[in-house]
Structure 1
C-alpha cells in the first residue's frame, strides 16, 4: 500500500514538473544507454512495425477491395501514429518511460497488469508467426531431423533468437533491424516483379485453368464480406509498435518528444509504403485466390522457384530478428509484475528470458493456424495496445480539460478500439463455428 501511494505521489509530482523531468530522467537514469542514433531508432521502429503481418495484407485487400483496403490501411496508420503521440505526450508530462509505468500511474496495479498481460500475449502472437515458416505441426512424424519443423524451430530459436534476446539494450539491435528491413524490401521487389510471371487464370501443370476469366482476373475496388472482419485486426497487428516505442525513446540520443515523434512518423510512412506495394501486387497476382499467407500462394503455383525459396528464407530471418525486439518489452513486463522492487540482476534477466522463450516456443508449436493468430490477437491485444490503452491512460492521467481536443480524440480512440475489437472478434468466432459446421 505504501508503495502504491508513493508511486501515485510521484505521478502527480511528475505531472507538475512536466517535460523537464523527462529530460532529467533520460540524463540521469539512462545516461549510458541513450546512445542510439536517430537513424537506428527509425530502423528499430520499422522493425517493430514490420513482421510477418505483411504476408496477410494481400488477403486483406482481396477481402476489402483496393480502394477499401487503401483507405483502411491509411486510417490505421494515422491512428497508430496518433496513439503513439499520446503516449509520448504522457511520457513528457509524467517523466515515465515505459508502457507499464503509464498503466500503473493511471490505474495502479490493475493498469500495470493490463499492459503487461497484453504485451505478453502479443509476444506469443509474434512467436507463432515463426512456426508457419517451418511447417510445424503437433506430433509431426518426420524421420530426418532436417525436415522436422519442430527441431528446426528449436535450433533457430536457440542459436539465433536467444542470443539476441539476451542483449541488455535495444540499441544493439539497430544493425539487425536494418538487415530485417532489407529483407522486407527484397520481398516487396520480388512480389512486384513476380506479378508479370504468374499467369491469370492460374495454371501450373497440376491445377486446371479457372473458369470465368473475367471474375478471377479482374480486381475488385470495394468489397465487404465475412472475410473483411480479418482486415482491420490484421492491419492493427501489422502497425503495432507501441510496446517498443518507449524503450527506443529512452535510448535515443538527445531524447525529446518531437524528435521521437519524427522518427515514428518516418517509420510509419516507410512501412505504409512497403505494405501498400506488397499488398497491391500480391493481390493483383492471385486476385480472389490469394492465400491468407501470401507465400503459400507462391509456393503452390511456383513450388520450385529459387527466388521464392530465397524470399521465404529472408522473411523467416526477418521475423526471427523481430522476435528479440518484441521480447524486450515482454521481458520487462514480466519483471515488472514479479520483480519490480529488485535491482537489475543478470541471473534474473537470463532466467526470465529463458522462461519466456520456452513457454512461447511450446505455444508456437501447438497453435494450428496463422490466420487465427492474426484474427484473435489482432482483435484483442493489438487493438487494446494500439487504440484503447493510449486513450484510456491519457484520459486518466492528463490534467487537460475533458473538452480539450486531445481528450476528445483519446475518447474516440477508446470507442474505436472497443468497436473494432468486439465486432471483429464476434465475426471471427461466428466464421469459425460456421466452418466447423
Structure 2
C-alpha cells in the first residue's frame, strides 16, 4: 500500500486518510482506457489526411510517449505530495492559486468532453432511429428530436451510472464500451477494400476517392499498364509524403486531446486494489498502448478508404457513401453506446473536484453525491440543447485546459513537491523542459485559434 507523505506539514495535518481500493487491475485498465478514448477517434482520419501517414504516425507516437511521461510525473507527485486528489496537490504546491488552477482545468476539460459526447448522442441517435424505421427524411416526430433524446439518455442511462459511489464499479460498463469501439474499428477495417487504392496495379477500384483514380476509370485497355504504374507512384507520394496545409497546425492539439486522461488517473489510482505507483503506471502503460494501436488503425484505414475526401467526423463520411447500410447502422449504434457509457467516467472527476473545493473534510453524503451529479448533467444538457455549435469553445477549452492537465500542472507540481531530488538532477531538468514545452504549446494553440476566429469568423459549422 502506498504511504502518503506530506512535506512541510506535521504528519497529522499532511497525511491524507487512506481507504482501501476495490477495483482490480483489469477493471482499472478498462476505466482508464475508456477515459482516454473519446469522440476524438472519429477525427483522426481527418488529421492524417492533413499530415500524411508518416508525419501523423510520428506525432501520434510522440504524443503518447509525452502523455505517459506526464502520468509518471503525476504519480510521483502524488506520492511525494501526500494526496491522490489533483486539487490538493495544487494546494500543497502553490496554495489557493494552485488549487484553483487544477480545479478550473479539470472542470473545463471534462465539461467540454461530456458535452462533445452528448452532442454525438443529440445528432447521431435521431439518425439511427430514422434509419431503423427506413425514413428518408425526418418526419418531425418527437422521438426524432435530438434535444428530447439527449435528455432521455441522460436521465435513463447516464444518471443512474453516475450515482455509483465508487469509480471501480464502472469497469464492466467500460469494458462493454471498449468492445463497442473495437467493433467500430473492425468495421472500418473491413470497409476498407482488401485491395487498397494503390493495389489498382491489379484491379482498378470502382469507388476510389482520389482524382487520379477517378480519371483512371475512363482510360482504354491499351493505356492501362502505364496509367496504373503512374497512379501507383502518385498514390505512394500522397500517402507517405509529409503534407503541410493550414489545417496541419491543428493536428497536434487533436492528438494531444485524444490522450487526455489525467483528471481520471488519480481517482482510478485511489480505487485500485493493493495500489502502488508501479502498478498504476502499468495500468497507464497498457491503457495508452491499447489506445495508441486503436487510434492508429482507425486513422489509417479510415484515411485509406476516403483519402482527402474524409470529413472531420469519419461516421459522416461513411454515411454519405453507405446510406441505410445495416453494418454501418450497427457501427453508429455501437459508437453511441460507447460515448454514452463514457460520460459517467468523465463526470466522476468533476464531482470530486466540486466536493473537494466546497465540501472538503465533510463525511460522504448520498444526497450531496446525487445532487451534484444531477446538476452537472443538467448543465451539460442545457449547453448541448441551447448552444447550436460549440466547436470554437471546445477548441479554446482544449488548447488551454488539456494543455494544463497534460503538460503544465504535472510538471509544475512535480518541481514544487518532489523534494527528494536536487533541482539539477536529470529528472528535474526533464520536468522543466516538459513545462516549457507545455507553455509554448498552449500559447501556440491559442494563437492559432484566435487567428482562425479572425480570418474565419463564421467557421463553426459542426455541432460536434
What residue ranges of structure 2 are gaps of 5+ in the alignment? Answer: 125-137, 195-204, 218-230, 459-464
Using the TM superposition, give the Cα deviation of residue 178 of structure 1 relative to its aligned residue in structure 2, in angstroms: 0.5
CA distance in 1, matches of 2:13, 2:28: 27
**Which residue of structure 1 lines up, in the alignment, with residue 336 of structure 2?**
316
Whole-angstrom CA distance in 1 between matches of 2:87 and 2:32: 19
- Tell me the SS of whatever aligns to 1:64: coil
Q: Which residue of 1 aligns with 2:123?
A: 135
What is the CA-CA distance between 1:172 and the residue it aligns to? 0.5
Deviation of 1:343 after TM superposition, in Å, equals 2.0
Match of 2:62 in 1: 75
Q: 2:382 aligns with which of 351, 359, 362?
A: 362
The yes-or-no answer on 1:435 pairing with 2:443 is no
Conserved 8 A contact 2:47-2:56: yes
One of 428, 440, 452 as aligned partner of 1:407: 428
- RMSD across aligned positions (CA): 2.8
1:229 aligned onto 2:249: yes
Q: 1:331 aligns with which of 351, 370, 383?
A: 351
Distance 1:273 1:74 in 2: 10
TM-score with structure 1 setting the length: 0.88
Do 1:83 and 1:391's aligned partners in 2 also have CA atoms closer than 8 Å? yes
Deviation per CA, 1:349-379: give whole Å up to 9, x if none: 1111111111112112344447546533331
Cα distance in 2 between the residues matched to 1:279 and 1:35 = 36
Paired residues for 1:115-130 under 5 Å: 115-130=102-117
Report the secondary structure of 1:416's partner residue: helix
**2:445 aligned with 1:424, yes or no?**
yes
The answer to whether structure 1 residue 201 and structure 2 residue 208 are counterparts is yes
Contact 1:226 1:427 in 2 (8 A): no
Q: Deviations over 1:406-427 (max 9, x none)?
A: 2111112211112222212222
3-state SS of 1:436 partner: coil
CA contact (8 A) 1:243 1:329 kept: yes
Q: CA deviation at 1:13?
A: 4.3
Q: Which has the larger radius of gyration?
A: 2
Q: Deviations over 1:248-287 (max 9, x none)?
A: 1111111111111011101111110000000011111111
Q: Which residue of 2 aligns with 1:3?
A: none
Change in CA separation of 1:372 and 1:310 when aligned onto 2, cut-off 3 Å: farther
Secondary structure, aligned partner of 1:47: helix
**Are residues 360 and 167 of structure 1, via their aligned partners in 2, closer, same or farther at CA, if it must alter by over 3 Å?**
same
Structure 1: where are the runs of 5+ without partners?
Answer: 1-8, 204-208
Q: Counterpart of 2:304? A: 284
Q: What secondary structure, in the 3-state scheme, does the structure 2 residue paired with 1:230 have?
A: helix
Aligned with 1:219: secondary structure?
Answer: helix
Q: In structure 2, what is the Cα distance between the partners aligned to 1:350 and 1:166?
A: 6
Residue in structure 2 matched with residue 42 of structure 1 by the alignment:
29
Contact 1:132/1:370, CA 8 A, preserved across alignment: no
Would the alpha carbon gap of residues 373 and 231 (structure 1) be closer, same or farther in structure 2, given more than 3 Å must change?
farther
Separation (CA, whole Å) in 1 of partners of 2:276 and 2:160: 31
Within-5 A mapping of 1:268-279: 268-279=288-299
In the alignment, which residue of structure 1 is the partner of 2:157? Answer: 160
1:182 alignment partner in structure 2: 179
**Partner of 1:64 in structure 2?**
51
Alignment pair present for 1:387 and 2:407: yes
> In structure 2, which of residues 364, 370, 388 is the aligned counterpart of residue 350 of structure 1?
370
Give distance in 2, aligned partners of 1:56 and 1:392: 31
Q: 1:92 to 1:392 in 2, by over 3 A?
A: same
TM-score, normalised relative to structure 2: 0.83
How far, CA to CA, are the matches of 1:41 and 1:75 in structure 2?
A: 24
The question of 1:29 aligning with 2:25 is answered no
CA distance in structure 2 between the aligned counterparts of 1:14 and 1:142, rounded to whole angstroms: 67
